[in-house]
Amino acid sequence: MQLLHTPADMQQWALAQRSRGIRLGCVPTMGCLHDGHLALVREAQTRADQVVVTIFVNPTQFGPHEDFHRYPRPLADDLARCRKAGVSAVFLPQPAQMYAADHSIYVVEEQLGNGLCGAARPGHFRGVCTVVAKLFNLTLPHVAIFGQKDYQQAAIIRRMVRDLDFPIEVVVAPIVREPDGLALSSRNRYLSTDERQRARGLSQALRLVRDAGETDAAAVCQRVQTLLTETYQLRVDYVAAVDGQTLQPVPSLQPGVAIILAAFAGTTRLIDNTLLGHPTDSAQGIPAP
């Protein structure tokens, strides 16, 4: 497994592989790899000859009061997992190598990123789009895999690839969940035992939506909000029923609608979602409470 530390080395490696006719897959991550990331790697391996994992905790997508500095960075574990998974190359740059002191170019999205997580985290998706554009140009993949857990992010990346004409296929892979339904996330390790119990509320709320058969979006969102707040004692950031493509709010639930939510367990912000009518959506497999 190749370790590539600098942007120049990464790009040179990718160009060399491509010139030999090798099909490249890329899985961009912030490290602290869990089975959700490894499922993305496996998905990439079915679609490419060689897979690059990028590990970069990108400062520009964190707000000033967010967890950039304490974000976990278990590098030795991450590399062992990549090696075991058969990853071909890992790109692990430092922030100063990725951003010149006078960096002045940004990639911005002006529709899909305005609401939901974008409303709570100003500048977040600008940071995401900019770093993913850079990672695409450095890893030069034929196919890139993103997780459905970050639903809004995946929609924005798809949009970026379409609108900037990157020659890249974007694949969004299903959420991987704990046995009790909690979506895997690197931030789950912040949770206390009590918070971990209550964090089940996010996936339970999505199960409720899928089971209830209610189609009025406002009523469903209200029920979810009440469940999260009262039963699971979570502080809700948002609960929304949106068109799965445009991310615009919809009045009624039907196939193609995404239910997306964000809530805090203590100080830890968690997200989850389900895409209604989607055959491989993992929310179908959430166990009863």
Give the residue numbers marked as catalytic.
37
Residues 136-155 close enough to bind a copy of itself by CB under 8 A: 137-138, 140
Q: Using the minimum distance from each CB to a copy of itself, give the nearer residue, 144 or 283.
A: 144
Interface residue with a copy of itself among 6, 7, 73, 74 (CB under 8 A) is 7
3-state secondary structure of 171: strand
Q: Does 160 bind a copy of itself (CB under 8 A)?
A: yes
134 is a site residue for a copy of itself (CB under 8 A): yes
Should residue 235 be labelled a site residue for a copy of itself when binding is judged by CB under 8 A?
A: no
User: Among candidates 183, 177, 172, which has minimal Cα distance to 47?
Assistant: 172
Length of the chain, please? 289
Interface with a copy of itself (CB under 8 A), residue from 91, 166, 190, 232: 166
What distance in Å separates the CA atoms of residue 255 and residue 243, rounded to the nearest whole number?
Answer: 9
Structure tokens at 190: 């912040």
Among 159, 177, 207, 269, binds a copy of itself (CB under 8 A): 159
Q: Which residues contact 61 (CB under 8 A, 6 or more apart)?
A: 123, 124, 125, 127, 128, 131
Q: Cβ(262)–Cβ(271) under 8 Å?
A: yes
As a whole number of angstroms, the distance between CA 3 and CA 88 comes to 9
d(Cα 115, Cα 240) in Å, to the nearest integer? Answer: 10
Closest CB to a copy of itself among 16 and 80?
A: 16
Judged by beta carbon, residue 48 or residue 234, the one nearer a copy of itself is 48
Judged by the rule CB under 8 A, the positions of this chain that interact with a copy of itself are 7, 11, 15, 18-19, 21, 100, 102-112, 129-130, 133-134, 137-138, 140, 159-160, 162-167, 246
